Structure 1
Amino acid sequence: MRTSCAKLVQHGPRGRAGDEVKGERVSEAPESAVPTATPEGGDQPPGEASSGGLEYAWTIATVSQKFGISASTLRTWERRYGLSPSARTAGGHRRYNGADLDRVQLMQQLLDAGIGAQDAAKVVLSLDPAGVAAALVDVAQLDAPTRGALSPELATETLVMAAAQLNVDKIGRTCAQVIQERNVAEAWQEVFAPALDQIGRRSKEGSLPRAAPHLAAQQLAVELGSAVRATRSRTDRGGAVLLASACRDEHWLPMLALQAALAQNGIASTTLGTYVPLEEVAETARLLESKAVFLWASTRQPLHLGPWRPLWNLDPRPHVVLGGPGWGDPAQHELPTGVEFCPTLGGAASLVRDHLD
């Protein structure tokens, strides 16, 4: 899916909405490019050569006409955000090459998607020419209807780019399609978790808007909730399975994913959410007569008996399944009877299902 720099130069810059402008080559004389030694509309004095050493390049007037962006806006992007052409003539006149045109197009598409100019410029400038070309391919796929099953790689890249554009509708539709095409446990491991990790990491690095991780998580939560509601009429009594985060762990999406995975197998469950003390988890399990309790932890949690006494003292004691990286390596600990650890969502769903039979 990645487009190389060589291919970009060979095929020329793309037009609007991801359509390729065929027949344009930097190494030949495209209609929209001028020899740097030839004047065009008075923009360049005769005989002036490009300081970037390019034989042919696009003037700012041509770029403005090509993309429908005023020359003053192009100059503003350069002055405020550093989005400048790669070359200038000896007289200081701007000259854009094919990679520069791709950057301008990507900037325009991100702005059209509703991303602020500063965040959009950060995204564009964080990518090398091959990355910009690949992003344009992704944007073209985002704008086109999705046909057929999404591979995990394409689904992940689609979610990341939709988050970069703050494209709420595309995030939701992609999540819904992934859930429809595969079981939720598989979708979490292969698509949602990797996508959320990339979005969060790139947001911290500054190449994605700060709001991107929150927006992606919220839309995924909506679609997981829809998957649960769609199966509610054919699921068992919800109280038999209780899902909660350990102590003050704030991560709640894995619980929603497990709830949806169980619902796909006809098992209803009750989710307590985050920041619920273990005493309240134990009390809820007692009142609902829960047969299984799933506890997710993404932050470090103790495995010694003390904090868990309220849950261990229940009679009958529900089977407890621990999930998430916060438990460290449970193999190094002696887990109490009736407690199991499973690192994957699918495995946790299977364990819970087994203890309901």
Structure 2
Amino acid sequence: MLGITLQGEVPEPSLPVAAVARRLGVAPATLRTWDRRYGLGPRDHTTGRHRRYNPDDVARLELMQRALLRGASPAEAAEYALKAHAEPEVPAPKKEVPDSSMLAKGLGRAALAMDTPSVQQLLIEAIEADGVIACWDRVVRPVLTAVAGRWAHSGACVEVEHLLNECVLAAMIAATPLLTSARNPRPVLLSCAPEERHSLPLYVLRAALARRDVGTQMLGAALPADALAAAVRRTAPAAVVLWAQLPRYGDPGVFEQVPRMRQKTRMFGCGPGWASVQLPGQVQRLDALAEAVDQIEAVVVGVRK
């Protein structure tokens, strides 16, 4: 009987519109629109009463939001949410091969909502669809560029950029296979130029090389020149790759400090920070990560047949 709670029965907790909107990272007006257009409002709402969402109502909205993040239209997402909540076996609406632009849009929405699980899942889908380089170039970079633009314009979204960077770093590490027997007996040493802290592209490069069975040694961000020299002496790498994101850190003099070893070590300047400088003759410039993977593989192990 409506309006009556049986003795011993605990009533389900309910939330107002504002609380549900905060939970989902959307505006309250969006929830009202979903209710009006698609019937995804609270079940017990009647005219003249404030909307209050019970756990089942919120679960349907969360299903709709997940479908939206994967590129479904609002109508498709609402239909999925209504059906899937009644029939759990209904699969989420998504393409068999996710479209990069749709994944990028979904990633942007999830990052702005600070929805870490969805960000992580979308990165996994992008890597599975096209690999780590395509994920970086077609999905991650457009979102990072948009977030950086918003920060430059208004000073907002620093927290979004940090969350996205951490999620991408975790995804690239997870996508890097552990090599027990690399094709190259001497490693490829990966490092940022001194003072350069934008190391995320190096993790993408390491993952892509590992997927081709090319072994690397990651030294990460802002490695001092003397530490780089010490690492080269200790590991005798087949190649040294120095990443520079910003031009002020692209100092070609750092290559002159790399010690000459008995076995030849190839050197590469990778990233946009080297674009406007004259590199020493023994250093090869690599502008794009896809090019870098091919060139490094060819140098240290030969072209794969």
TM range (shorter): 0.5 to 0.7
Q: Distance in 2 between matches of 1:353 and 1:218?
A: 27
How far apart are residue 316 of structure 1 and its match?
3.6
User: Which residue of the partner structure matches residue 348 of structure 1?
Assistant: 292
Residue segments in structure 2 that go unaligned for 5+ positions in a row: 1-28, 40-45, 54-60, 66-70, 82-91
> Normalised by the size of structure 1, how large is the TM-score?
0.58
Report if aligned partners of 2:245, 2:271 keep a CA contact under 8 Å in 1.
yes
**Gap change, CA 1:258 and 1:156, over 3 Å in 2:** same
User: Which residue of the partner structure matches residue 226 of structure 1?
Assistant: 174
Q: Distance in 2 between matches of 1:220 and 1:138?
A: 30
Provide the aligned C-alpha RMSD in A: 3.7
User: Which residue of the partner structure matches residue 328 of structure 1?
Assistant: 275
**Gap change, CA 1:256 and 1:239, over 3 Å in 2:** farther
How far apart are residue 63 of structure 1 and its match?
9.4
**Gap change, CA 1:311 and 1:149, over 3 Å in 2:** same
Residue segments in structure 1 that go unaligned for 5+ positions in a row: 1-12, 24-60, 70-108, 114-133
Counterpart AA for 2:110: A
Q: Confirm or deny that 1:173 pairs with 2:117.
A: no
Counterpart AA for 2:295: L
Q: Distance in 1 between matches of 2:156 and 2:251?
A: 40
User: Which residue of the partner structure matches residue 228 of structure 2?
Assistant: 281
Report if aligned partners of 1:162, 1:171 keep a CA contact under 8 Å in 2.
yes
Pairs within 5 Å for 1:197-346: 197-206=145-154, 209-228=157-176, 230-233=177-180, 235-236=182-183, 240-301=187-248, 306-311=253-258, 313-330=260-277, 333=278, 335-346=279-290
**Gap change, CA 1:20 and 1:356, over 3 Å in 2:** farther
Q: Confirm or deny that 1:150 pairs with 2:103.
A: no
- 3-state SS, counterpart of residue 175 of structure 2: helix
Match of 1:185 among 133, 156, 161: 133
Q: Distance in 1 between matches of 2:282 and 2:224?
A: 20
- 3-state SS, counterpart of residue 356 of structure 1: helix
Q: Distance in 2 between matches of 1:223 and 1:241?
A: 21
Q: Confirm or deny that 1:160 pairs with 2:108.
A: yes
Report if aligned partners of 1:138, 1:157 keep a CA contact under 8 Å in 2.
no
Q: Deviations over 1:157-209 (max 9, x none)?
A: 11111001101001111111111111222222112111211123224445964
Rg comparison, structure with higher value: 1
- State how many pairs are aligned: 243
Report if aligned partners of 1:238, 1:269 keep a CA contact under 8 Å in 2.
no
Report if aligned partners of 2:233, 2:259 keep a CA contact under 8 Å in 1.
no
- 3-state SS, counterpart of residue 269 of structure 2: strand
Q: Distance in 2 between matches of 1:350 and 1:218?
A: 27
Counterpart AA for 2:37: V
How far apart are residue 300 of structure 1 and its match?
1.6
**Gap change, CA 1:339 and 1:156, over 3 Å in 2:** same
